[in-house]
Structure 1
């Protein structure tokens, strides 16, 4: 497991999930989110891939990512942590995701957002 390479790859994927063209495409989101994906959102809602993915995706939100890091959990599973600034709400949140490498690609299986002051 090359940690630097994995960190670079997962940062790109996390940033990709912030892009409007990805967030509004159920097809693109389905590639990045595992079937067993679920999220504890920063709004306090809990949703799964099946429940939350509409044909128009998950909606566009202008956000900036910073302070990205990774923590390997096993040979094929990695925890990512970072901070998001929501430019619309003018609010920061701490974020964590769990990514699993399967079928030659990384897919997110869990995500959590926690608002901070």
Structure 2
């Protein structure tokens, strides 16, 4: 199948919400760049090299909506969207920077900011 860039990045973002991906250090390594870092909606800063254990990261139940991409260059894309955390009933706005490296898109930065619905 030939996906558009927007569909491809959306698919990657949705993968990062899946329990089987979040609980696998290997799968996360395939999606996150070596220098990945995140400003979490919790206010915590997470770095790939110090924040991902053997068991991955916390499994969550979230729904994604209002997805858009904003290309910054041929190899860099900003993705923006909304997340609803079903368990905590918390809404947040999200942004991720994806970079094409060696033929694969990897997330280099992510930010979550709590908001009202």
Q: Which runs of 4+ in 1 moved over 4 A?
A: none
The answer to whether residue 51 in structure 2 is matched with residue 46 in structure 1 is no
| TM-score between both structures, scaled by the size of structure 1 | 0.96
Q: Deviations over 1:67-104 (max 9, x none)?
A: 00000001100000000000010010000000000111
Q: How well do the aligned residues superpose, as a CA RMSD in angstroms?
A: 0.8
Measure the CA separation in 2 of the matches of 1:21 and 1:47: 20
Q: How many residues align?
A: 114
| TM-score between both structures, scaled by the size of structure 2 | 0.96
Measure the CA separation in 2 of the matches of 1:84 and 1:54: 24
Partner of 1:105: 104
Residue segments in structure 2 that go unaligned for 5+ positions in a row: none
The answer to whether residue 53 in structure 2 is matched with residue 27 in structure 1 is no
Residue segments in structure 1 that go unaligned for 5+ positions in a row: none
